[in-house]
Amino acid sequence: MDSKALQEKYSLLKEILYQTEGVLIAFSGGVDSTLLLKTACDVLNDKVMAVTAISELMPKREQQLAAQIALSFSVKHKLLETFELSDDEFVSNGPDRCYVCKKKRFAGLVAIAADNNIKVVADGENIDDKGDYRPGSKAAQELGVISPLKTAGLDKAEIRSLSKSLNLQTWNKLSSACLASRIPYHTPITVEKIDQVSQAEKLMRGLGFSGQLRVRHHGQIARVEIEPQAMPRAVEMGRQIAELMKTVGFTYATLDLEGYTMGSLNKQLLMDGK
């Protein structure tokens, strides 16, 4: 925290959380929500609760990490099962899919907060999230969920810097996203497709691709997104990657020449002005 401006933002974050007098944190165990939870614990002590939403869309390892981090902070931690794949509106996978999911999740968090006499629910959205298509933000606003990191003006790089200075294990954790984000809009989401992309990404990790990667589900085609610097190696291993994709049910495998892009399936929506 060498930067004066960054310290001022961090002080503002603390003040925002202190003013809540008690807060429930939507806690995924990612970079953003971990810093938010740590800061809340520092300023509010035992007036903090962390709740992690779990479903088939969240890899088991992420759930386990969230539980381990919450335990290390000695904070009250609950799990909220959300069952998105039982919701026909979510499964139909329209452009508002994230809104449908977040509305359900945040409603559950607000209910848990009320049951525990907590008046404020907060999520880990930051100012960088403004640049992507995020209908889930609308759901948060409708239910009165606040975004302290965004209000404090913190971006992802600053959050990582603060996390590193606080010795948080997540400071350099790769960004993650719901597994449904691998499936193009208007293509129904199924357990089988979620399992396919989950297993496909696990296989890619097994090949030593340790940076950001996504396997997008395009029917018979697995579109692999990796960081640009890893592409030469991926090309060399092309046949091996293709064979591995076949083992989880894909017929073809392609390498996206643009490389990993956050929210790449949102590009068409953004072009259409949605």
Single pTM value for the model? 0.90
Residue 173 lies inside a defined structural domain of this protein: no
- CATH number, domain with residue 224: 3.30.70
- Mark whether 148 and 191 lie in a shared domain: no
pLDDT of residue 131: 56
Residue 71 lies inside a defined structural domain of this protein: yes
- Mark whether 196 and 100 lie in a shared domain: no
8: domain range?
A: 4-165
**Cα–Cα distance between 257 and 77 in angstroms, integer?**
41
- Mark whether 126 and 208 lie in a shared domain: no
Q: How confident is the model at residue 269 (pLDDT cuts 50, 70, 90)?
A: low
- Mark whether 254 and 159 lie in a shared domain: no
Phi and psi at 255, nearest 5°, equal -110, 120
- Mark whether 147 and 20 lie in a shared domain: yes
Sheet of strand 23-26: strand arrangement: 76-81, 48-54, 23-26, 120-122
- Mark whether 145 and 214 lie in a shared domain: no
- Mark whether 197 and 154 lie in a shared domain: no
- Mark whether 111 and 141 lie in a shared domain: yes
Please provide the average confidence, as pLDDT, over all residues in the chain: 93
CB 99 within 8 A of CB 136: yes
- Mark whether 154 and 206 lie in a shared domain: no
Residue 172 lies inside a defined structural domain of this protein: no
How many domains does the structure of the chain reveal?
2
Residue 141 lies inside a defined structural domain of this protein: yes
pLDDT (tens digit per residue) in 87-145: 999 999 999 999 999 999 999 999 999 999 999 999 999 998 765 567 778 899 999 99
Residue 171 lies inside a defined structural domain of this protein: no
